[in-house]
Structure 1
Amino acid sequence: MSTTVHRRYPTLLLVLLLGFSATAFAQNADRYHIDMVVYANNDPGNMYEEDWPDNVHLRYPRKWVRLQPSSSSSSPRIVDSSDPEFAKAAQSLRMSSRYKPLFLASWEQDLQARKKSPAILIQGGKQFGKHYELEGYIRIAVERYLHLDTNLWLARFGSHAGNYYLPQQPQSYDEPEEPAPLVDEAFENSPEYLQFKQQNPGFQPSASPQQEADYPIEQIVVMKQQRRMRSDELHFIDHPKFGVIVKVTKVVAPKE
């Protein structure tokens, strides 16, 4: 009887170890290292190169996360190390007088499909009251390829306010996406409003914004793009006003 029990211990221990190793590998199967820098183009010629629309409607999604040095294995976790190729590109930006880094971070994240991937809140540059020069969010997902979706906006604060409004970054998951609508039914059926809706298909009516009067917004430029990427490659997203450099690499699980 005792001999049978002792013989079972090594087998049981092996099963437990194999199960632990499989679980650890599964937790890191979709773990990726992301390096990203968002920079402004300081070329004076770009200031009046194009006319940017002033009827932009900016909003944050309901499903979002923040980059932080979290201990949770599933949430995006800021790390100190960066890819050597990316670090070289970021250093070139710092040394150039034409470009100004606004946001620079490296983190690890468990990537999901595009429909399940949360938005990562981004902000950087100089702070003006409750806002920053750069705000918005990105999404990084993995399916057959890696996918990067950007919805970033770069604001220029000055002395003359335009027809702009910056939404506040959400602080709690219980916050609604937008304030309660104030548009009445008669106005919704007016020809002016219908024409505006045709020109802005993603617009949703919201309450009248209360923008900080101390920092008028002269211009807002939006970078809303979708990019299919490959891992271990440096990717550039070009824009006349600002750009993104990103590199995504697979995190290799340690061998047992």
Structure 2
Amino acid sequence: MNNPRTIQTTTQAEYILKPLSYLVIILLAAILLVTPKTGHSQTTASPQVHVEIIIFQSLAQRGWTEEYWPSPSGLVLSEQAQRLGETTPWAKLVAAENLELAEVRSRMTTDRGYDVLAHFAWQQPAFNRNNAQPIIIDSQLQKRRHETSPIYGQVRAYQERFNHVEIKVELDRRIPANLRERFAEHQGIELAWLPESWKFVIDESRRVRPGELHYIDHPLFGVLIHVSRVSQP
């Protein structure tokens, strides 16, 4: 036979616990509603870096015949490479007036043997190596010499313990008319079979310290790389 006091105690406990259960459910729902969503909000809140690139060609003609230049088969970009713009919401193109190497570029004049082909920068989160994606370098980022010296390639910035920048860029440069005969002889090609232009490639990976200017050298062209941290509001 059931104890009446036990039945009464259990009934009171259920009477108290039911409202508490409803209160817990309401509190959990409220927590879920106010908890920030992951994704873009985390991306914009993560540390940002400013990556700036200058690509230039050398006007010194001795580079054409100082070394033997095998004809490259053509640069193949990563399937993940994207153009700066609407397709890359994680990367913001920096306006020309906000470029940090403007003074450096102003000193790279033709009378000093430099011909700047592209100068651009973007800001992005400090992605690790697995999450960082390459940005395409092509005519959209090239400012001049599109017909005589087109560039094509990709650049990727990421951060592990240090900042790193990987750049692959191809310069398809028209052979100077006064060098065609010497260049054909130097390359071991009949002059009649010599193409109008020749391709040169830079494929480098550099560890860069924020604020330092890095120079990738090549007898025919070169790249300047600068990475800095973006101050968070």
Same fold by TM-score greater than 0.5:
yes
The runs of 5 or more residues in structure 2 that have no matched partner are 1-29, 181-194
> Cα RMSD (Å) of the superposition?
3.0
Q: Residues 138-186 of structure 1, C-alpha deviation per residue, up to 9 Å, x if partnerless?
A: 11111111111111111123588xxxxxxxxxxxxxxxxxxxxxxxxxx
CA distance in 2, matches of 1:156, 1:243: 13
1:170-181 equivalent positions in 2, closer than 5 A: none
Contact 1:126 1:132 survives alignment (8 Å): yes
CA distance in 1, matches of 2:72, 2:54: 27
Contact 2:50 2:122 survives alignment (8 Å): yes
1:233 is aligned, of 212, 220, 226, to 212
Q: Residues 17-71 of structure 1, C-alpha deviation per residue, up to 9 Å, x if partnerless?
A: x969xx9686242311122110101101112111111243421110012123x59
Matched, 1:252 2:222: no
With normalisation by structure 2, the TM-score equals 0.66
With normalisation by structure 1, the TM-score equals 0.60
CA distance in 1, matches of 2:87, 2:77: 25
CA distance in 1, matches of 2:42, 2:161: 20
Identity of aligned residues (%): 23
CA distance in 2, matches of 1:217, 1:110: 42
Contact 1:71 1:77 survives alignment (8 Å): no
Amino acid of the residue matched to residue 126 of structure 1?
R
CA distance in 1, matches of 2:166, 2:112: 28
Contact 2:149 2:173 survives alignment (8 Å): no
1:18-33 equivalent positions in 2, closer than 5 A: 27-33=44-50
CA distance in 1, matches of 2:224, 2:211: 13
1:141-220 equivalent positions in 2, closer than 5 A: 141-157=158-174, 216-220=195-199
1:36-75 equivalent positions in 2, closer than 5 A: 36-68=53-85, 70=86, 74-75=90-91
Aligned to 1:126: 145
- Seen in structure 2, the aligned counterparts of structure 1 residues 38 and 28 have a Cα distance that, compared at 3 Å, is farther
More helix by share: 2
Report the count of equivalent residues. 179
CA distance in 1, matches of 2:128, 2:50: 16
CA distance in 1, matches of 2:47, 2:220: 33
Amino acid of the residue matched to residue 174 of structure 2?
F
Contact 1:28 1:251 survives alignment (8 Å): no
Aligned to 1:212: none
Say which one has the larger Rg. Answer: 2
Deviation at 1:234, TM superposition (A): 1.4
- DSSP 3-state at the match of 1:35: strand
Deviation at 1:73, TM superposition (A): 5.1
1:108 is aligned, of 104, 123, 136, to 123
Q: Residues 188-209 of structure 1, C-alpha deviation per residue, up to 9 Å, x if partnerless?
A: xxxxxxxxxxxxxxxxxxxxxx
- DSSP 3-state at the match of 1:47: helix
Q: Which 4+ runs in 1 deviate beyond 4 A?
A: 23-26, 70-73
Aligned to 2:183: none
Aligned to 1:92: 107
